[in-house]
Chains A and B, each alone.
Chain A
Amino acid sequence: MTEVSMTVNGKSIARDVPDNTLLVEFLREHLRLTGTHVGCDTSQCGACVVHIDGKAVKSCTALAVQVSGSDVTTIEGVANGALHPMQKAFNDNHGLQCGFCTPGMIMSGIDMVSRFKAEGRDLTEQAIRHELEGNICRCTGYHNIVKSIQDAATKM
C-alpha cells in the first residue's frame, strides 16, 4: 500500500492503494470515474486514454503510484460548464455509435489538436488517421471520427 495523491479533474485527492494498482483501476474502482474504459489488455485500443499533465496517456499502462503528484484529466473533467468543442464535434458529426471507445477518442483528439497547434503543424486528414493508430473503434469505420476531429480543430 502506498498513499497516492494527485489532482483529478481539478480536485485534489489522496488514497491508499496497492502498488500494483493501474491508473485506470484507480480511476474506475477507487474514484468511480467509469467514463475511462478498458477495451484490451495489450495497450493498443486506447479506450482508456486520459491526460496526465496535459499529455495523452494510456491509463491501463501506468501505475497509479507512478503518476502520484500529477494533474490528471479524464473524460468526466473535459467539459467546463459547456461541452468541450471536441465533445460537441463528435455529436455534430455522428462521431460515435456504441460510445465505448469515445472517451479515449475524445481525449486523443484533444491531445492531437493541441499538440499540432502548439507545434504549428497542419493537422491533415492523413495526420489524424496516423495519430489515431492507438485508438480502435469497431462501429464507425472512423469516417465520422476523422470528420469530428477535423471539425473540432477549427474550433479549438
Chain B
Amino acid sequence: MSDGIGARTKRKEDKRFTTGRGKYTDDVRMENQAYAAFVRSPHAHAEVAGIDAAKAEAMPGVIAVLNGAELTGDGIGNIICGWAITSKDGSPMNMGAWSALATQKVRYVGDAVAVVVAESVAEAQAAAEAVEVSYKELAAVTMSDAALETGAPEIHDNAPGNLIYDWEIGDVAATDAGLASASHVCEIDLTNNRLSPNPMEPRSAVAIFDEAEDHYTLYTTSQNPHVARLVLSAFYQVAPEHKLRVIAPDVGGGFGSKIYIYPEEIVCLWASMKTNRSVKWTSSRSEAFMTDAHGRDHVTTAKMGFDAEGKITGFKVDTIANFGAYMSLFSSAVPTYLYATLLSGQYDISNIHCNVRAVYTNTVPVDAYRGAGRPEASFVIERMLEVAAREMGMDPAELRRRNFVQSFPHQTPVIMAYDAGDFDGNMDKAQAAADVRGFAARKAEAASRGKLRGLGYACYIEACGIAPSAAVGSLGAGVGLWESAEVRVNPVGTIEILTGSHSHGQGHETTFAQVVADRFGLPVENIQIVHGDTDKVQFGMGTYGSRSGAVGISAIVKAMDKVEAKVKKIAAHQLEASEDDIVIEGGEVKIAGTDKKMGWHEIGLAAYTGHNLPDGMEPGLKEGAFYDPVNFTFPAGTYIAEVEVDPETGTVEICQFTAADDFGTLINPMIVEGQVHGGVAQGIGQALLEQVVYDDEGQLLTGSYMDYCMPRADDVPFYTIEHNSTVCPNNPLGIKGCGEAGAIGSPPAIINAITDAIGAEDLAMPATPQRVWAALQAAAPRMAAE
C-alpha cells in the first residue's frame, strides 16, 4: 500500500495553497458586504462614563454604530469559561461578567466598547476613531503576583483580591514528609513567559443574516466550528443551532488561539441582524496582539527532594496563573488539569503537591496556546532535574534515568495513568543522534573560538486527546471530548469522510485519507476529507490538544468498522460465501483463498441500487461513529539542545537540536516531523525570543512584530528528529498525537543548554542576548573567585 499508514505521502491539499487558491475567511466577500471596525479602550482599567456616536454616525458610508447596552438589551449573553474549577475550600471559581461590548467598565487595553458598520473598511475605521467615549480611569494591575497583593486594584466585583480560584492537587502532608526525608532539596523560582500565539492568518469573521429565513451564516477562523456554533447558540443566544451555520474554511494556523469564541464574532453576527447586511471584520496584526488570547504567564516556586541515590522523594509546586481581564473559554483548565496533572513528568514520584492560584489582571485574556499547561509543567520539572543534577554533581541524564517510570501502566499521584512508553529508549536514541559522547570535544573546540558551548536535556511527557468525556465532566468540563466521523461510500466506490476534526495546517486531508486508503486498499485520490462546515458535518469537537489523530482518526476507524461489516455482508450475499471468509484487499472484496471477488465500486453500486442485498438490509453505504476515548494518550520524548553563547554579546546560537519522540503509530512521518519542527520552533521562540510585555499602566509594549520577536529562519537550525514509537494500547491504531510535543519539550532543553554553557542558573525566558550577557556578568565574579 504505497499511500497507507506509515507512508510519506505528499499532501493532497498543497496545490491550492501553493497556487494562491486557498480560501480563507478574509477571501470571502458577499454581495451586500459591509465592514466592522471596533472602538477599543485605550485604557487598561476604566469606567465607561458615556459614548457619543453622533459625529461618527454622520460620517460617509456609516451604516450603524452599536454599543454594549444595545447588545445586552437584545439578549446577547455574556462570554463564559466552559470549565468549572472548585477551590480547595469547596467554593466555586469567581467568574466575572464579560460582555462582547463592554458596558460599565473596560478591563484591558483593546476591550471593545462599540462597533461601527460601514460600507468600506476605511470608512468604518474613520468613524470608529470619531466615536467619543468618555472614560473615568482606574488604577490598573498587570502582573499576577501584584494582583494578589493587598490593595491591588480590583477588576471584577465578584472576585475579591482578584482571586479566581485557589486550587490544589496531591497530598501536601505526604509531600512535606517526602521533602523532609530528603538528603538534598533543590528549590527553584521560575516565570513562564507570556506569549502571543500569532498564527499568520489574523482572525476574521464574515457574518450573514438571511432575514427571509431568519438564518445566520458565519465564516470564521475557527479550530472548532461546531463548538463555536454550540456556544454562540446555547450561551450567547445569538441564534438557535438550527438557524446558525458556522463555516471554518481554510484557516491559517491556530495554535489554540482560534479555539475560543471572541467578542468580534458575536458582534458581527448580531450586527448583521441589526443592519440586515453581511458584516465582515478582519483583525490587523496590531489588533491581534491586543485581543487574541495570550498563553502561559505563570509564576512558580518549586521544591524537589532527593535521597542519597538521587531518587525523588517529593515534589512541591506553587503557581500563580495570570488569566487576564476575563476568563476565556478553557482558561481555567489550563493551569490545573492540563498542568498540575503532568507534574510527575517521566518520573516515578510518590509524593506530589501543587497549589494553583488563578488571578485577574488588566491584560488580554490568557488561555490555551500550543501545549497549554504542559509546557509550563515540563519547564518546571525539567529545569528542576537539570539544576538538581548540577547541584548534586550528577550527570543530568543519569539522574533522570534513575527516576524514569519503568513499567506500565503507571499511576501517578496526580490523576494521570500512563499507559505505555519507553523513556530509556527515547533517551538512548536522542543521546546517540546528538552524539553526546562527542560533546566535550565540541565544547573544547568552541572554547578555542571564544565561544561557550552547552548541552541541555528535557524529557517531556504530555497528555493528548483529553478524555474520556465522563471523566472530564466529573472534573468540571462543560463539554464532552469525543469526536465524530461519517464514512460515505459513494455508488461509484469513492469515499467521503466527514470529520469533526478541523485541519488548519495539520494535513488531515492527506493523513485521514491515508488511514482509509490503508484499510480498504484504495488510492488516496479516491478519498475526500470534508470538514469545517456545520451544515455538512454531523458534529465535532474540533482540533486542539493534539487530539485529531488519537480521537478524530479513531472515530473514522470506528465508522469504517461498520462500513466493513456491511461490505462483507453484501459481498458474502452476492458471492454466495460466508461473511467470515470475505477479505478486503487492494480495493477488492474477495473470498479468501479463491479468485472470486468484487471490485470496491461494484460493492458501492450494489449497495445503492439495492437490487440484490441480503434480506432486510437497508440500501446505501454510509456509516457514522462517535468515539469517546477511554484515557488520555501520553506522548513522551527526550530533547537535547546544544548551543553556543557569544560571551561578548550574549547571543545564543542553537548548533544542534535533537528530538526523539514516542508518538505511537505514525500515519505520515513527513507530516509528523513537520509538526515537531513547528512545535520546536515555537519552543525556541519561547526560550529565546518571545515575550508579551505590558507596562505598569497596562499599555502593551509588544504590540507588533517590531517589538514582539517572532522566530525567523535564521534563528533556528535544521532539526534532527528520531522516532521511538510504542503503541498506545487505548485506541484502535495506537496513535498518541504529535501536535504540541515540540513546544512542550524544547524550552527547558534550550535553557538547560544555555545555563550549562554560561555556568549560571538564574536565567529567565526569553533568554535574550541582553539577559544572557547580564547573567554572565553576574556569574563572572563568582567564576573568577572559584
Interface residues of A (CB under 8 A from B): 20, 28-29, 32-42, 44-45, 47, 74-76, 78-79, 83, 87, 90-92, 94, 96-103, 106, 125-126, 128-130, 132-133, 135-146
Q: Kindly specify which of B164-172, B208-216, B248-256, B321-329 makes contact with the partner chain.
A: B248-256
Q: Which of A20, A99, A132 is the one whose CB lies under 8 Å from B17?
A: A99
CA distance A20 to B681 in the complex (A): 37
State whether the Cβ of B674 lies closer than 8 Å to any Cβ in chain A. yes
Q: Which of B18, B20, B677, B711 is the one whose CB lies under 8 Å from A91?
A: B18
Q: Which of A96, A126, A136, A145 is the one whose CB lies under 8 Å from B710?
A: A136
A11 CB, min distance to chain B CBs, angstroms: 15
Once A35-B20, A98-B201 are accepted as A-B contacts, the answer to whether A138 and B678 lie under 8 Å apart by CB is: yes
Q: Kindly specify which of B7-15, B306-314, B360-368, B393-401 makes contact with the partner chain.
A: B7-15
**B678 and A42: CB pair below 8 A?**
no
**B713 and A91: CB pair below 8 A?**
no
Interface residues of B (CB under 8 A from A): 10-11, 13-24, 26-27, 29, 122, 198-202, 250-253, 255, 284-286, 504-507, 670-671, 673-674, 676-682, 704-706, 710-714, 716, 718-719, 742
CA distance A92 to B14 in the complex (A): 10
**A141 and B14: CB pair below 8 A?**
no
CA distance A90 to B200 in the complex (A): 18
Q: Which of B29, B201, B673, B681 is the one whose CB lies under 8 Å from A100?
A: B201
**B718 and A39: CB pair below 8 A?**
no
Once A41-B284, A132-B713 are accepted as A-B contacts, the answer to whether A138 and B20 lie under 8 Å apart by CB is: no
Q: Which chain B residues lie closer than 8 Å to A125 at the CB level?
A: 718
Q: B19's closest neighbor in chain A, by CB?
A: A79
Q: Which of A38, A44, A83, A140 is the one whose CB lies under 8 Å from B19?
A: A83
**A90 and B677: CB pair below 8 A?**
no
Q: Which chain B residues lie closer than 8 Å to A20 at the CB level?
A: 122
**B674 and A39: CB pair below 8 A?**
no
**B713 and A74: CB pair below 8 A?**
no
Q: A101's closest neighbor in chain B, by CB?
A: B200
Once A76-B19, A132-B713 are accepted as A-B contacts, the answer to whether A139 and B201 lie under 8 Å apart by CB is: no
| CB pairs A–B below 8 angstroms (27 shown) | A20-B122, A37-B201, A39-B200, A40-B705, A42-B706, A75-B19, A78-B19, A87-B19, A90-B18, A94-B10, A97-B253, A97-B506, A97-B507, A98-B200, A98-B250, A98-B252, A98-B504, A100-B22, A100-B252, A129-B713, A133-B712, A133-B713, A138-B255, A140-B677, A141-B682, A143-B674, A146-B718
**B198 and A138: CB pair below 8 A?**
yes
**B680 and A141: CB pair below 8 A?**
yes
Q: Which chain B residues lie closer than 8 Å to A44 at the CB level?
A: 704-706
CA distance A33 to B21 in the complex (A): 9
A152 CB, min distance to chain B CBs, angstroms: 11
Q: B674's closest neighbor in chain A, by CB?
A: A94
A19 CB, min distance to chain B CBs, angstroms: 12
Q: Which of A29, A47, A94, A135 is the one whose CB lies under 8 Å from B713?
A: A135
CA distance A102 to B16 in the complex (A): 11
Q: Which chain A residues lie closer than 8 Å to B11 at the CB level?
A: 91, 94, 96
CA distance A55 to B481 in the complex (A): 49
**A100 and B24: CB pair below 8 A?**
yes
Q: Which chain A residues lie closer than 8 Å to B284 at the CB level?
A: 41
**A34 and B20: CB pair below 8 A?**
yes
Question: Given A33-B20, A87-B19, A99-B252, 6 more contacts at CB 8 Å?
Answer: A39-B201, A39-B202, A40-B704, A42-B704, A45-B285, A98-B253
